[in-house]
Amino acid sequence: MKYIITGGAGFIGSNYLHYVVNKYKEDFFICLDALTYAGNYNNIKDLEGKENYKFVKGNITDRSFVYKLFEEERPDYIINFAAESHVDNSIKDPEIFLRTNIIGTEVLMDACLKYGIKRYHQVSTDEVYGDLPLDKPELKFTENTPIHTSSPYSTSKASADLLVMAYHRTYGLPVTISRCSNNYGPYQFPEKLIPKVISNALQNKKIPVYGTGKNVRDWIHVHDHNVGVDLIVRNGKDGEVYNLGGHSERDNLTIVKTILKEMGKSEDLIEFVEDRKGHDLRYAIDSNKVEKELGWKREYSFEEGIKETINWYLNNEEWIKNILTGEYKNAYKDESK
């Protein structure tokens, strides 16, 4: 089978490629990525030369390019990791989020309809559900929780989800959607909380924490998330949504303090800053559906995963340095030019 993995040079997509390229030798995987600021070719550089893998640079919003790629490759499966995902950026400039996350999804599905596929899978987020109160820990997001977005980012992802389901109902396109909680692990761009804390702590720079730091997130190791995505793509039911959660709720301040303690750094580096506009209070996912129907299990506890993640960044300081200097943008050499 042939797979196109969009956004494969990003954090979650690159981890997915490392997992499947090495696991499924009989399948062929095409990484499609525009290499915008958060797409880092260094994340997938060591996949070069694999017989069941190749990289293609391109943007999912470019209809003629996408159609040409489908015409040439005739993929069986599309897994769409490609997305603008940083909430702060969406608040400053929503337009790119609408283009990539909504129009890009539409272009991909139109190509699927034109050329035919076995399944289109949309990688989404728990942020489409809005937030939960801090004082009711028993409440969790299920697949039936109404969509109630807070930011331009989450709205763009929710819009894409609705579009995916509309294409399934209207055109009969075979689709699945997964909605995950906050991911952590190797190769995460250091604008996100965990790698930012690690990067700043390495430089003894102040670590900004929004508000009081009491906003709660459910954390899932990127490997566990990707095992879930793979299960859904291969065994899920068409037209279904599946939640993938870590069952590891922590408030942001606890996350920061945990990392600083593990790195032997002082909590004096913490600096409380003005809260994010429309900041969601709490996310928590109920993953019972995918656990019962597809047998998905998490391998990582948060305690194990965060230590491994910290060690990865400490052992890959050059990777962080290349991002901070901008050198990572030169990692991909287009041999066709």
Reported as a single tens digit per residue, the pLDDT across 232-260 is 999 999 999 999 999 999 999 999 999 99
pLDDT band at 84 (very low <50, low <70, confident <90, very high): confident
How far apart CA 46 and CA 92 sit, in angstroms, is 35
pLDDT single digits (tens) 323-332 = 999 999 999 9
* Candidates 126, 131, 161, 218; catalytic one: 126
- What average pLDDT does this structure show over 75-89? 88
Percent of the chain with pLDDT over 90: 88
Give alpha helix (H) positions in 87-221: 87-92, 95-98, 104-115, 152-171, 193-202
* Candidates 127, 224, 280, 286; catalytic one: 127
pLDDT beyond 60 at 337: no
- What average pLDDT does this structure show over 194-200? 95
Residue-level pLDDT at 150: 87
Please state which of the ranges 13-17, 62-66, 94-98, 312-316 shows the lowest mean pLDDT: 94-98
How far apart CA 184 and CA 127 sit, in angstroms, is 16
190 against 31, higher pLDDT:
31
How far apart CA 111 and CA 64 sit, in angstroms, is 10
- What average pLDDT does this structure show over 146-173? 96
Residue-level pLDDT at 64: 98
- What average pLDDT does this structure show over 11-32? 98
* Candidates 53, 153, 187, 242; catalytic one: 153
Report the 10 Å Cβ neighbour count for 39. 24
Residue-level pLDDT at 302: 96
Residue-level pLDDT at 198: 96
How far apart CA 326 and CA 248 sit, in angstroms, is 33
What angle is formed at CA 200 by the lines to CA 195 and CA 204, rounded to 5 degrees? 150
Residue-level pLDDT at 335: 58
Active-site residue 313, yes or no? no
CB 248 within 8 A of CB 302: yes
Give the tokens for residue 94.
Answer: 């929503």
Computed over every residue of the chain, the mean pLDDT equals 95
Active-site residue 127, yes or no? yes
How far apart CA 230 and CA 252 sit, in angstroms, is 29
Residue-level pLDDT at 37: 83
Active-site residue 46, yes or no? no
pLDDT beyond 60 at 185: yes
Residue-level pLDDT at 277: 85
pLDDT band at 162 (very low <50, low <70, confident <90, very high): very high
Residue-level pLDDT at 31: 98
Instruction: Please name the amino acid found at residue 8.
Output: G
pLDDT beyond 90 at 96: no
Percent of the chain with pLDDT over 70: 99
Closest CA to 37 of 91, 96, 103, 80: 96
Residue-level pLDDT at 334: 75
Global pTM exceeds 0.85: yes
